[in-house]
Chains A and B, each alone.
Chain A
Amino acid sequence: MSVSSSDTMIAREPSFLVRMMRMLWADKFALCAAIFLLVIVVLAVVGPSWLGELATKQNLRGRNLAPFEWSREWVWWMGADALGRPLLARIIVATQNTIMVAAGAVILSSVVGTLLGLVAGFSSPRVGQIIMRLADVIMSFPSLLIAVIVLYLLGSSILNLVAVLSITRIPVYLRTTRAEVLEIRERMFVQAARVMGASQNRILFRHILPVVFPTLTTLATLDFAYVMLAESALSFLGIGIQPPAITWGLMISQGRQYLTNAWWLSFWPGLAIIMTTLSLNLLSNWLRIALDPVQRWRLEMKGRKDG
């Protein structure tokens, strides 16, 4: 997207990055969330090469080993799964696939959905109609059904999984964006830009997109959890991620049959999903305020009081 930011910097003020860091410091919840997400991202990068072997080694004598046995090595602290593999290590290794599928699907669907929504809202009514009816078609299918068919035909791989999950989520972004664009394009400042002779692209990306953006980030973070769970549903049906590859969603569904006697099998990966989405939510909430000049003082004032 061609949003030029070179002229956003104003000399005497602290740079954009410094201001953002200060505002992050002011919101302690968002700060924790950011740190947590940073850890997740690092684990996703190094996880498989670091603990990959340990996470797949079976140990049938330690089946469904209970958690909190501090005397053992740290990878066993969360217990072990039905084949005696350490849960903590498996969660760390699974981070990569989980984040790749979820982030990939969310980013792909939000970018495509937003662009289509911008076009549908801003171009001629006919183009808008075509795009909207396509979205209706996608929405009228049960998303799981599309996923089953497509994955059955194309075979299951991480890439196909990302594609399928994002296709089913595109209409959500598309409809939201279009609805907002229809409202914003009538606002005075858009008219003012037209009077100045601004091009369509400039109006879309410079004037309309920044106003829609906060809604979209909120939507995307909520979608993150949805996509993770949808992926686990597909994996449960056997057309998602194939063992021995693992994701958090797959771990939850594998632990399902032991829920009555070994709760930790599903609990820990579930906790990981909750913590990740919660962090994303907190961070997006912070981002919404930090990017809005009208709201920004809330964070800047707090920073001054605390620091």
Chain B
Amino acid sequence: MAEHLLEVRNLSVEFHTAAGVVQAVRDISYYLDRGETLAILGESGSGKSVSSAAIMNLIDMPPGRISSGQILLDGEDLLTMPAHARREANGRRIAMIFQDPLSHLNPVYTVGWQIREAMTTHGMQAGPARSEAVRLLTRVGIPDPEGAMGKYPHEFSGGQRQRVMIAMALALRPDLLIADEPTTALDVTVQAEVLALLKELQRETGMGVLIITHDLGVVAEIADRVVVMEKGELVETGTVRDVYKNPTHPYTKKLIGAAPGKGEMHIAQLTGELLLSVRDVRKRYGSFDALKGVSFDLRAGETMAIVGESGSGKSTLARVLLRLDEPDAGTAHWKGRDLFTLSPSELYKLRRDLQMVFQDPTQSLNPRMTVFQLVSEAWAIHPDILPKRQWRERVAELLVQVGLSAEHMSRYPHQFSGGQRQRIAIARALALEPQLIVCDEAVSALDVSVQAQVIALLDKLRRDMGISFIFIAHDLPVVRDFADYVMVMQKGEVVELGTVRDVFEAPREAYTRALLAASLDPDPDVQAEHRAARLKRA
């Protein structure tokens, strides 16, 4: 048997917490060869990042403890190595890139200094280090690499920062590159570019790449083999194609089934009464035009999806419509009355009809309030909806409606999982019996399988109660099964507005097509076609 570049054998890691011992990973084994890409796929809490942290010696001990197993790099066990040899291996032989490059680049040093430092600490002279750094920045596609050497991390965009991180990681020509959710914080079009860059660099250097992700699309795009993890255990392993086409473990099946963008598309009805009519809304922040004249209509019972990358103005639009920010110009007629000219007391009444669900339920629920308090606050603010003695009963009803149970009432938000928290936020929005709910990236922070459940819940509420939705997302597949209309935004402008079928099946604008092409399909074959099409275009 030939020696693998990296082999993890029967690794178990546990954490000692006040609540007892938590087994983060249990008895997992996998290997990685040179020139190969292995993806570790799992949702939050699956322990997918723990094994790579063990490889890089990033686990704090205590409270962490590696209770069993070996990590072999070219046959040598990293775990029994002396500390200085381990440090030497880190960086020189194994490099790592992280999810959020901004928090992993030191803000007070220039990026040139930081790349050079990576090389000089491992014994390179200052002169060669500098020219090597310029070469690397050129290689990862940073424009004006000489000038970029003297810039600070905040002067780059998110995608460029990730490229800088990759340049830093490659500075010492490592044999193994670990990428922990490298593209999760990036826009879809940027994500595709960064993944393509990783693939290219791998072909050039022949390094092994271990990529940790929650996204089936990323796996399909870049990986050769995949390891699926659930709750600290390795449930399935194989080539990407095999695992996708013939999943054997129920969890893998569930994960693949939950991938968005496969169901029937809605056919817009155009029958409901006109609810909201937005015309030429503008908003500036200083000299930055966040919204440059946005117009659309929404009818009762319809769902409008607003899709755009960061900086497209989609969240600003939501905030303006809910009067969290004041617009500079434009009108938004809600059943014939202009939202933007309402007095505070009229606005207060209107709040009942217009509600919002935020991106991150961890932050949108007050951590010091119980579920009962959170949901019933709506009635404390609008006392005419419900007399106080019926509060408990109604909270219980709402909780059941969103798929929780009445006994959750006295708990606090931190005692729930992310998906459950978002359900609480939805129950809170429903408490006011609104006619329109604005969901600002309401499922973006959730795991794929949870995402599917929450979207199904929203769809059910629409059918049962006739609620309209404005659903904001940065990713097209998520809205495909749910929206009636799709509005694509870029740099504060509406690029394309049409029914979901039109936008997905016959996109008119180049930007929409680019977005569609950049979003990753979980099917490796489809993804291979996309890649081929992209190469042909380029």
Interface residues of A (CB under 8 A from B): 7-8, 10, 12-13, 187-189, 191-199, 202, 206-207, 210-211, 291-294, 297-298, 301
Contact = CB atoms under 8 A, between A and B. Distances in A.
B368 A196 contact: no
Interface in B403-449: 409-410, 412, 414, 425, 428, 432
Pairs of residues from A and B, 6 with the lowest C-beta to C-beta distance, nearest first: A197-B351, A188-B363, A188-B364, A293-B412, A189-B366, A10-B410
A196 B351 contact: yes
B364 A191 contact: yes
B467 to A, nearest CB: 15
A196, A206, A291, A292: residue with the most chain B Cβ atoms closer than 10 Å? A196
A52 B149 CA distance: 77
Contact of A294 (B367, B380, B409): B367
B410 A196 contact: no
A59 to B, nearest CB: 57
Interface in B68-83: none
Given A194-B324, A195-B324, A294 B414 contact: yes
B381 A196 contact: yes
A7 B376 contact: yes
Contact of A192 (B19, B356, B380): B356
B374 to A, nearest CB: 9
A191 B352 CA distance: 15
Nearest to A11: B392
A292 B377 CA distance: 19
B365 interface: yes
A76 B19 CA distance: 51
Given A195-B351, A197-B352, A211-B368, A202 B322 contact: no
B522 to A, nearest CB: 30
A86 to B, nearest CB: 48
Contacts of B391: 7
Contacts of A202: 380-381
B490 interface: no
A307 B381 CA distance: 42
Contacts of B19: 297, 301
A264 to B, nearest CB: 44
Contacts of A12: 410
B381 A195 contact: no
17 contacts: A10-B370, A188-B360, A189-B367, A192-B356, A192-B365, A193-B366, A195-B354, A196-B377, A196-B378, A197-B381, A198-B377, A199-B381, A202-B381, A293-B367, A293-B370, A293-B412, A293-B414
B15 interface: no
Contacts of A198: 377, 381
Contact of B368 (A7, A192, A210, A298): A210
Contacts of B365: 189, 192
Interface residues of B, number: 37
Nearest to A187: B363
A7 B351 CA distance: 23
A89 B450 CA distance: 68
A12 B370 CA distance: 14
A191 B440 CA distance: 12
B348 interface: yes
B373 interface: yes
B358 interface: yes
Contacts of A189: 363-367
Interface in B338-358: 347-348, 351-352, 354-356, 358
A10 B408 CA distance: 12
Contacts of B381: 196-199, 202
Given A12-B410, A13-B410, 17 more contacts: A7-B391, A10-B409, A188-B358, A188-B359, A189-B363, A189-B364, A189-B366, A192-B428, A195-B354, A196-B377, A196-B428, A199-B381, A202-B381, A207-B366, A210-B368, A297-B19, A298-B18
A192 B373 contact: no
Contact of A293 (B324, B368, B382, B409): B368
Contacts of B368: 210-211, 291-293
Given A8-B373, A293-B414, A294-B367, A191 B409 contact: no
A197 B373 CA distance: 16
B372 interface: yes
Nearest to A298: B18
B209 to A, nearest CB: 36
A238 to B, nearest CB: 47
A193 B377 contact: yes
A199 B363 CA distance: 20
Given A192-B356, A301-B18, A197 B347 contact: yes
B372 A10 contact: yes
Contacts of B355: 195-196
Interface string B311-344: 0000000000010100000000000000000000
A123 B377 CA distance: 23
Contacts of A197: 347-348, 351-352, 381-382
B372 to A, nearest CB: 6
Interface string B29-56: 0000000000000000000000000000
A188 B359 CA distance: 9
A226 to B, nearest CB: 29
A218 to B, nearest CB: 17
A239 to B, nearest CB: 44
B432 A196 contact: yes
Given A188-B364, A202-B381, A294 B412 contact: yes
A185 B273 CA distance: 37
